[in-house]
Structure formats: C-alpha cells, structure tokens
C-alpha cells in the first residue's frame, strides 16, 4: 500500500492478470469497449488450464443453443442451478452468472474469429429439478492450426504434449480452439497488448482503491497504473503446496491437472490488502488414474469396472459426474474407509486395459504400470483381493452383489445408470453401465484423487467486484475464474461451469470498468 505518490513505470486502463479463457474474454471486452488493456501472463505460454480443457461452457439459453431449437428457459435453468448449488454462494452472484451467459456469448459471437457450436453434454445432477439430459453446454468450433500462424508458438499445448511428448494436433479443438480464437480476436485489437513471462506480484492501493499492480519485467519490479481497474483471472492455487496445506485442500499436486503457473498469487495478494476469500478448501474434483510417473490425471467415461475401498466394498456410483465422484472419494477417505491408491476392479471382457475413455493423458505401455505397482491381475477375485490388499471374502461378496445388480438391471446400492450422465459414455443412445465382472482373468487399476484446479478465491459481488470482509467492494479490483470464489460453491452443476462462469464474470468486470469513471 502506498502512502506517497506512486512512481509508475507505465499506464493503461485495464490490467488483466492471467491468460485463461476468462481473462482473454475480459481483455477482449475491455479493448473493444475502448479501454487500453494489458494482459500479463506469468509463464511462457498463453492459455492456462483453459488450454488443456474441453473448452465447454455451460451458458443456459444462449444463441448457439437456440440455433438448434433448444427450448430451455432461464427460469428452468435457475431452478436447476439453485437446486444444485443451494445457498452456499450469494444469490446475486448466482443470478449474475445465469442472467448474463447468453449476453456474454452474444458479445463473443460478434467477433468474426469466435464461433461456437452445441456439444450435448448432460447436466451433472440428473435427478435435480429441471436437469437437462442434453445439457446447456457449448464448445468453440474447431480451428485449423494454420489459421493461428505464429500464435501457435505462444499457445499452451494440451497436457499429453506437455506430460508425455505426444505430437501437436493438426486441428485445434476444445480449449485449444477457444484460446486460439481469443488470441486471434485480440490480435485485431489495437488497444490490447498481451505479455508473456510477466508475473504479477502485488496490487498497488491508494486511498483504499486498487490503482495498479507491480509485475516483474525482466526480473525487475515494474509498476503499471490501471486507470479503470485490475481483473484477477489468474487461476487457482492448485500448484501451491503451502496454500493447499494452509486451506486444507484434499489431494496433492501430483494429482492436479491445473496449469503450471497457478500458484495463487493474485488471491494471496488480495488477502494482503483486505479482500475476503471463500471456498478455500474447494477444487473441481475427479477420480484420477495413476500413471507410472506417480501422477494421477482427471479421468472420466468409465464403461465398466467398480471402485472398491480398503474393505473391498463399493463406495459410490462409479458413473456419476467426476466432481461428484471425487467428493465421494474424499468423504470415504475422511471416514477412514478408503486409502490411496484405491482400485478399479474389472474383468477381461473388454480387454486387459482399464475401461476408461478419457484419462486426459493417454495410457503408456502396460509394463510401466505393472512395474509401478499400478496394475494387478489374477485368475480369481480372491487372488486379485490378495494382490490389492483387501479382504478376499469381502471383495468376492462385492463382486457377486454387483453381478446380481447387473443381471437385475438395477444398482440397488448407488443407482449407477440412474441418470443421463451415467449412461452418456455407453454408446449411441446411452446403454447401461451395469457391466458384470465375470470373465477372468481379473484386473485392478490404481486410482487416486485428481483436481482440475482449486475454486476458492476472492469473494465478489455480482459485478465481479472483489469484496472486503464487511461486504464493501474494493474499488478497482475484480476477480473471475478460479481466482474468484466460485459461484457454484461446493458443486459442479454441469460440464462447462468453470470456463462459462470465468468468461461471464470477466465480461461483467470489463463491462463495469467500461462504465466506470477513470480513477484520477
């Protein structure tokens, strides 16, 4: 905090911290609104976790959905969201997200580089009121790599490229297409400037308002004045072991698939100037298949197998949406029922590999998993139990009970298959995920908990303005994405919630800054 006049090195209207999808939406909106905008990214690539992602956005009643005749209503979407999220977060914040998603997308689609298509993806709480089996989810249209030109070199590649050296794809899909398209749109904006390797360090506060930031420029402190405000859209703190421990975030960095620069400085610096935070123990969760390097990766689309705890018993609906399943894993661990790694038990009917459609990072050769102790095999269930260290009689009883459910067509314990999402990966028309475990030899694959990034952060109002503990906004400071305490609280209502809300609150922040008077 500054007591004497600040010796600024540079000035702009809007300073955006981070370069994930939301940050770039906010920057685009600010620049198109006539504001000189600087984006500072800590790493040597733009895109953050958003570049790894599916690029999906959950935005009810948006134009892309309407183009294909979607008959959803905002009232229905609100009823669903409320039923799932409850009162854990401010209604004002929930409504801001719901009411502005379609408007934000209208803004994006005015740009020739930004095109979105519907990707039907069921809501994650299929039994909640007004859940939609077809979802409320859109994705960016694919993009030919050549269209990006030199920008390809500054776009963070997908996780398989970073983790196991997979070849770069020839067509940009999903999060790659989203960041690629936003970079193209920003390149056309004379008022927008994007900088790599420029980590944000501190907010500058004058008379109780954030008037700029200190970043590192070529290793030296550099003070940038932001006349309209600063948008913190720098992801979560999933890669910061000290913050994870301080705020009690379950799991480890080895199970995190968030981007490498996400150390939470934009959140911690906010706390230092009096900002309130919320949901700090929360993340977007998932089961994570363990790889030979000891890292667990976000995994979804289980077309068979059952998860068992330390007693050899099932503890959840294995086909539930990944965040719900992740929460069951954490709960079972807290209850003392589950130790990690825990195991997926499956048979040979679909082959030797675990029945997982999207392990995020592709599986490498089986021998490496066997050598790491992450794959087990036996001719009998009792033999497999000995391999994975669970009681043989209990595992045999669990498998027999499961096979009975499969024969009856109903999972009487966890209702696996009871929601549209449970059946989504089971082929055209959604078959049953009740797949018996009968054909030996029998297998087990090791799993742990994975997170896609933390979701606790700076508490905001419905305009994305960061709040103090007393509920008053800190003038000049806004937050979005995983730097912001998530509107969805302790839930993940549907695919595309993280990026959808990140984009909406960044756009709202930019809109507020466009409407605001400069801080002189």
Ligand X SMILES: Cc1cc2nc3c(=O)[nH]c(=O)nc-3n(C[C@H](O)[C@H](O)[C@H](O)COP(=O)(O)OP(=O)(O)OC[C@H]3O[C@@H](n4cnc5c(N)ncnc54)[C@H](O)[C@@H]3O)c2cc1C
Which residue is it, tokens 């997908």?
158
Q: Which residue has the tokens 């004058």?
A: 206
Q: If binding is defined by CB under 6 A, does position 502 make contact with ligand X?
A: yes
Q: Which of residues 32-61 bind ligand X (CB under 6 A)?
A: 40-43, 48-50, 52-56
- Stretch (H or E) spanning 85: helix 74-85
Rounded to the nearest 5°, which phi and psi values hold at 106? Answer: -55, -45
By rule CB under 6 A, what count of residues binds ligand X? 46
The least distance separating ligand X from the CB of residue 118, rounded to whole angstroms, comes to 13
| Burial of residue 141 (number of CB atoms within 10 Å: 0-12, 13-18, 19+) | middle
Residue of 35, 233, 279, 384 interacting with ligand X (CB under 6 A):
233
Q: Which of 172, 182, 204, 234 binds ligand X (CB under 6 A)?
A: 234
The verdict on whether omega for the bond into residue 475 sits within 30 degrees of 0, i.e. cis, is: no
Helix (H) or strand (E) holding 22: helix 21-32
Task: Choose between 52 and 402: whose C-beta lies nearer to ligand X.
Answer: 52
The encoded tokens of residue 405 equal 């459910």
Closest CB to ligand X among 235 and 489? 235
Residue 235 binds to ligand X (criterion: CB under 6 A):
yes
Among the listed residues 12, 14, 15, 23, the single contact to ligand X using CB under 6 A: 23
CB of 420 to ligand X, least distance (A): 17
101 or 355, CB closer to ligand X? Answer: 101
Q: Which one, 398 or 488, has the nearer CB to ligand X? A: 488
Assess 200 for contact with ligand X (CB under 6 A): yes
The one among 135, 287, 453, 489 contacting ligand X by CB under 6 A: 453
Residues 291-320 that bind ligand X (CB under 6 A): 298
Question: Looking at residue 271, what DSSP letter applies?
Answer: H
Nearest-Å Rg of the Cα atoms of the chain is 23
Of the pair 217, 394, the CB lying nearest ligand X is at: 217
Token representation of residue 119:
């990707």
Stretch that binds ligand X, among 13-21, 60-68, 95-103, 317-325 (CB under 6 A): 13-21
Contacts 24+ apart (CB under 8 A), 244-253: 244/454, 247/280, 247/281, 247/456, 248/280, 248/281, 249/280, 249/281, 249/282, 249/283, 249/451, 249/454, 250/281, 250/283, 250/330, 250/333, 250/449, 251/283, 251/285, 251/330, 251/448, 251/449, 251/450, 251/451
Write each residue from 480 to 499 as x if it is in contact with ligand X (CB under 6 A), else as -, in one continuous string. -xx------------xxxxx
Is residue 85 within 8 Å of residue 104, measured between CB atoms? no
| String of contacts with ligand X for each residue 357-376, x by CB under 6 A | ---x----------------
Residues that bind ligand X (CB under 6 A): 17-23, 40-43, 48-50, 52-56, 199-200, 233-235, 257-259, 261-263, 265-266, 284, 298, 360, 452-453, 481-482, 495-500, 502
């Amino acid at each position: 905090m500054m007591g004497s006049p600040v010796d600024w090195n540079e000035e702009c209207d809007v300073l955006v911290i981070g370069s994930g999808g939301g940050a770039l939406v906010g920057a685009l909106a600010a620049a198109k609104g006539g504001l000189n905008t600087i984006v500072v990214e800590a790493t040597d690539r733009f895109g953050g976790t958003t570049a790894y992602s599916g690029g999906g956005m959950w935005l009810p009643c948006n134009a892309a959905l309407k183009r294909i005749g979607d008959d959803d209503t905002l009232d229905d979407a609100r009823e669903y969201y409320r039923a799932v999220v409850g009162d854990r977060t401010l209604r004002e914040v929930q409504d801001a997200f719901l009411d502005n998603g379609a408007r934000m997308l209208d803004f994006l689609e005015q740009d020739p580089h930004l095109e979105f298509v519907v990707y039907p993806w069921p809501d994650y709480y299929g039994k909640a009121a007004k859940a939609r089996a077809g979802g409320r989810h859109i994705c960016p249209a694919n993009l030919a790599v050549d269209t990006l030109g030199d920008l390809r070199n500054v776009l963070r590649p997908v996780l398989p490229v970073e983790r196991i050296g997979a070849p770069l794809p020839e067509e940009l899909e999903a999060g790659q297409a989203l960041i690629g398209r936003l970079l193209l749109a920003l390149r056309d904006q004379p008022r927008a400037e994007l900088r790599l390797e420029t980590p944000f360090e501190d907010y500058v506060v004058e008379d109780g308002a954030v008037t700029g930031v200190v970043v590192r420029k070529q290793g030296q402190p550099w003070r940038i004045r932001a006349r309209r405000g600063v948008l913190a859209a720098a992801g979560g703190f999933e890669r910061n072991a000290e913050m994870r421990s301080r705020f009690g975030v379950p799991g480890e960095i080895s199970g995190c698939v968030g981007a490498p620069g996400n150390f939470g400085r934009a959140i911690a610096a906010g706390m230092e100037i009096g900002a309130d935070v919320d949901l700090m123990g929360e993340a977007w969760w998932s089961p994570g298949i363990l790889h030979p390097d000891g890292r667990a990766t976000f995994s979804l689309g289980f077309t068979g197998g059952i998860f068992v705890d330390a007693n050899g018993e099932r503890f959840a609906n294995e086909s539930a949406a990944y965040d719900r399943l992740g929460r069951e894993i954490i709960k079972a661990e807290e209850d003392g029922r589950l130790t990690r790694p825990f195991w997926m038990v499956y048979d040979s009917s679909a082959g030797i590999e675990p029945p997982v459609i999207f392990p995020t990072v592709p599986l490498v050769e089986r021998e490496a998993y066997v050598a790491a102790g992450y794959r087990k095999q036996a001719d009998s269930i009792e033999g497999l139990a000995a391999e994975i260290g669970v009681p043989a009689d209990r595992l045999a009883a669990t498998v027999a009970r499961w096979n009975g459910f499969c024969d009856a067509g109903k999972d009487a314990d966890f209702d696996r298959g009871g929601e549209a999402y449970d059946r989504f990966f089971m082929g055209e028309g959604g078959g049953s995920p009740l797949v018996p475990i009968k054909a030996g030899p029998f297998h087990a694959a090791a799993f742990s908990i994975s997170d896609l990034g933390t979701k606790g952060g700076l508490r905001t109002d419905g305009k994305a303005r960061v709040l103090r503990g007393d509920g008053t906004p800190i003038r000049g400071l806004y937050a979005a994405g995983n730097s912001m305490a998530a509107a969805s609280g302790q839930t993940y209502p549907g695919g595309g919630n993280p990026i959808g809300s990140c984009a909406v609150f960044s756009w709202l922040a930019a809109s507020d800054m466009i409407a605001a008077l400069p801080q002189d």
